[in-house]
Amino acid sequence: MIRKKFPLLAYFIWAILLLLIPLGCASDPPRSEDEKTAENYVESQGYEIEDHQGKVYTYTLDKSLLQSVSASATVNLSYIQTWSVQENEPDNYFGKEISSYIFTVSGHPLDKQYNTNTIVNIMMSDGEVIGGTSTPDVGGLDGSLYSLDGRTLEEVTGISYGEWITQWAQKYTD
C-alpha cells in the first residue's frame, strides 16, 4: 500500500514544482515611469539596450557639489565630470533631485573606438531626461566621462579643459 501511494505522491510533488518554477523565473520587476522614460530615451537615440541596472543613484544638486578648488575636490570630481559634458547648465537644477539610470548599450559611437559595449547614465529630474554620460564598458578605465552621445568635454564646450576648469572654478567656487 505504501508503494502505491509513493509514486502518486511523487507525481503530485513534481506537478507542484513544475507549476512553481515559472514563478521563480519571472521577468524583471516592473519598472518605474522614470525608468521607462529613460529606457525610451536611450532607444530613441538609436542605441540597443543590452542590460539595465535601473536607478542607481539619487542626489539633490547644490552648488557645493560642484566646487573644484577645495579639499572636497576629489569627492566632487564625479559630479564635476558628469556636469562638464552636459548641454544644460547645472544651475537650472539646484535644489532639485537628480536620479541616474544606468544601461549597457550597443550601437553607441564609443563601441567602435573601444571595441566593446558602452555604459550610459541617464540623468532625470521631475520626470524628464535632463542629460547623461557615457563610458566604454571596460574595467579600470582612467579618464573623464563622455557626453551621452560620446563627445569629450572639449567637443561639448568648444574650449580646452584648462580654459573650462578656470571658468568652472570662477563660477562654482565661493
The predicted-structure confidence for 14-32, as pLDDT tens digits, reads as follows 445 455 555 455 556 677 8
**Spatial CA neighbour of 55 closest among 41, 34, 40:** 34
Tens of pLDDT, residue by residue over 34-49, are 999 999 999 999 999 9
- Any domain includes 13: no
**pLDDT at 71 (0 to 100):** 47
Percent of the chain with pLDDT over 70: 77
**pLDDT at 146 (0 to 100):** 97
Tens of pLDDT, residue by residue over 54-85, are 999 999 999 989 987 554 456 688 899 999 99
Inform me whether the pLDDT recorded for 90 exceeds 70: yes
- Any domain includes 124: yes
- Any domain includes 28: no
- Any domain includes 17: no
C-alpha to C-alpha distance for 76 and 174, rounded to whole angstroms: 15
- Any domain includes 20: no
Tens of pLDDT, residue by residue over 120-133, are 999 999 999 999 99
What's the domain count of the chain? Answer: 1
Cβ neighbours of 170 (radius 10 Å): 9
- Any domain includes 78: yes
Per the structure block, which three cell numbers stand in for 173?
Answer: 567656487
Report pTM. 0.79
**pLDDT at 73 (0 to 100):** 56
- Any domain includes 16: no
**Spatial CA neighbour of 100 closest among 49, 61, 139:** 61
Bridge partners for 113 per DSSP: none
Burial class (CB in 10 A: 0-12, 13-18, 19+), 81: middle
Domain membership of residue 40 as a residue range? 33-172
- Any domain includes 136: yes
